[in-house]
Amino acid sequence: MKRLIFALLVVAGGSARAQAQAELPFVLKQIGPGVYAAIDGPEHEAGSNSGFVIGDDGVLVVDAFFTTDAARALVGEIHRLTPRPIRYVVNTHYHADHTGGDQVLRDAGAIIIAHRNVRGWIRTNNINLFGDRITPDLKARIEALPLPDLATDKDLVVWLGSRKVVVKTVLGHTGGDLTVSVPDAKVLFTGDMLWRKIAPNLIDGSVAQWQATDADFAAMRDAAQTTFVPGHGDVADLKDLREFRAYLLDLERLVAEGRRVGLKDEALARRVAPKLRTLYPGWTISDRAIAAEVRYMDQELAGTKKRPVPPAE
């Protein structure tokens, strides 16, 4: 009888826990000792991925999601897992889908760390990011985003007690990109330098730099044992990283081929889209995403691509 009650309690506890997890706007995955990835749910309620590292004397968070609700849920999960304080949030870049919840993290005790260019871009360039989808509410939210407290254009080591976390500047997605690695767990949070099975947003990017950065990741000494947390899509490995880099190179090649036969704009996109979809089955490649990708790739090859200009301090 005792045994049966115990079994029932365990089942009840398990399902309550599963229920709580199901209500989160992300899926929390432990990917190393005290290292977690928070992967955006299928409804994309969080807007992007996040994650965190628990050290001996505090917690470092990587990216803050798009919505403040998702950021609040993340803070709740961190407090459930550890009594240690949230000390830092590192923004991998300025895009609002990664910085929208910064104020929630700051209110929870975090110092906001970002590339130095983020201070100049976060409240202005994010408005361009949304293009025709901007609303007055969203504009007001963007203009009220907190500015980073600690701005860098150099690599940093952040010590969480005895735990080493390495913040690196990289090139390719915006011109103000950081990655975060946890060497003792062989984890690399790549921000949007890596998307897993999703067509990436090239609005501020340079594919030439981006694919070179991904080649650097793939050439890291521990690359085959490393867990990569992408900016969008599920937790990734070296194979996923190589596939994403191949996608960028195929996009470049297909757009270049179309340009050589004189195609542009919609005609160019109509030629490239089915070829990419055939090469990458199982990827999420929306019509809107592919049209934008082809346009930006075309501009990069033509030498007319506009990228965010580093602001004066």
Q: List contacts with Zn ion (CB under 5 A).
A: 95, 192
> Smallest distance from the beta carbon of 26 to Zn ion, in angstroms?
17
Long-range contacts, 149-156 (Cβ 8 Å, 24+): 149/111, 149/112, 149/113, 150/111, 150/112, 150/113, 150/114, 151/114, 151/115, 151/116, 151/118, 151/119, 152/113, 152/114, 152/115, 152/116, 152/178, 153/115, 153/116, 153/117, 156/113
Nearer to Zn ion, 54 or 112 (CB): 112
| Whole-angstrom distance, CA of residue 286 vs CA of residue 292 | 10
Choose between 193 and 294: whose C-beta lies nearer to Zn ion. Answer: 193
Q: How far is the CB of 96 from Zn ion (least distance, A)?
A: 9
Phi, psi of 203 (to 5 degrees): -50, -45
Nearer to Zn ion, 102 or 192 (CB): 192
* Residue 55 tokens, joined: 């050290």
Q: Enter the tokens of residue 205.
A: 């990017």
In whole angstroms, how close is the CB of 92 to Zn ion at the nearest point? 8
Report the distance separating Cα 172 and Cα 286, nearest Å: 22
Angle (nearest 5°) at CA 208 between 204 and 214: 95
Min. distance of Cβ 200 from Zn ion in angstroms?
A: 8
Our CB check for Zn ion shows the closer of 95 and 106 to be 95
Name the minimum Å distance from CB 131 to Zn ion.
Answer: 14
Q: Hey, CA dihedral for 270, 275, 278, 283, is it positive or negative?
A: negative
Task: Name the residue nearer to Zn ion (CB basis): 186 or 245.
Answer: 245
**Residue nearest Zn ion, Cβ-based:** 95
CB of 93 to Zn ion, least distance (A): 5
Question: What's the alpha-carbon Rg for the chain, to the nearest Å?
Answer: 20
Of the two residues 95 and 245, which places its CB atom closer to Zn ion in the complex? 95
